Amino acid sequence: MNKPPVDRPMWQPSPERIAGANLTAFMQQAGARWRRRFADYAALHRWSVEHPQEFWASVWEFCGVIGDMGATVVVDANRMPGARWFPEARLNFAENLLRPDAHDAGLAFWGEGRAPGRIRRLDRQALYRRVARLAAAMRADGIGPGDRVAAYMPNLPETVIVMLAAASIGAVFTSASPDFGVQGVLDRFGQVAPKLLFVADGYRYNGKRIDCLGKVAEIAARLPGLVRTVVCPYVQRGGHALSAIPHATLLGDYVAPHRRVSSIEFARLPFDHPLYIMYSSGTTGVPKCIVHGAGGTLLQHLKEHRLHCDLKPGDRLFYYTTCGWMMWNWLASGLASGAWVLLY
């Protein structure tokens, strides 16, 4: 086999693909906005580093962020830590992921085995309705801005719905994978004192059905301040024994009083309002909490999806991840670009 010369790329996009790329459109729009000319990607990158105020304002505008940007992009830009981005802005993360112009977007799910519900599809309208009902249930439980909502769940549509419902009211979402042991979960959730804990009854892996409710009972009993544990049926068809789990209810029963709710009152909050709590790996002691703000997460993910991945409305986005890794959060943000997010 003939090897390609080492000084030439193995693949290059066609002129037609380059012309139709989001990055090309961004360069044209930003160039016109700031009266600049970008000869190539290196020039665009250099401008983004040397003029971050112009760059990030352009990302906001190009991606059509829903919210009020304000007149100021950054204060104390050279302080690290200490720089404040978009200090006058108000937005809601979930509102941008459930944007009304995303006509060909939603969630598609594949699970292991042959059980009912292993393949599901929720378009944007169905997803919005599910989030609206759950957000109403959370509000009725007294959950508001800054309260922590935790999920100990597989990569299910319900996990995304919990995150969006929490974000819609300004609550802070945090998650862990159901293959974590009891102490691993407590090392994480024990630091953030969640008021709501969403769990699945189990998960499937490598052809096996693994029950989680025994671990959930122990975890919930050791989380002071927990208002409710909400169980999402996944591997069991019925007959869930919840008496051993403090303040436990099934997801269907939790949202039933709000089944007629069809709209969401999105709380528009400051740009740096906490959205996610993630964790370091725990290899050097107890995992460290890492807080990510709503605006920074939204803009960074929009930049990566639209400019680097060339993600467009109706595209399908997949990343193989559990809910214990930050790539789950990255994957969920694909909704903000009008894509179908594929869960497995």
Inform me whether the pLDDT recorded for 255 exceeds 70: yes
Average pLDDT for 124-128: 97
**Higher-scoring residue by pLDDT: 47, 77:** 47
Give the confidence band of 270 by pLDDT, cuts at 50, 70, 90: very high
Give the confidence band of 282 by pLDDT, cuts at 50, 70, 90: confident
Inform me whether the pLDDT recorded for 169 exceeds 90: yes
**Higher-scoring residue by pLDDT: 158, 241:** 158
The burial class, CB within 10 Å (0-12 / 13-18 / 19+), for 2 is exposed
> pTM of the prediction?
0.95
Under 8 Å between Cβ of 131 and 165: yes
Inform me whether the pLDDT recorded for 22 exceeds 70: yes
Helix (H, G, I), strand (E, B) or coil at 314: coil
d(CA 158, CA 6): 48
pLDDT 10s digits, 178-221: 999 999 999 999 999 999 999 999 999 988 999 999 999 999 99
What's the sign of the alpha-carbon dihedral 130, 131, 135, 138?
Answer: positive
d(CA 152, CA 134): 17
Give, rounded to a whole angstrom, the gap between the first and last alpha carbons of the chain.
Answer: 38
In percent, the amount of the chain with pLDDT more than 90 equals 89
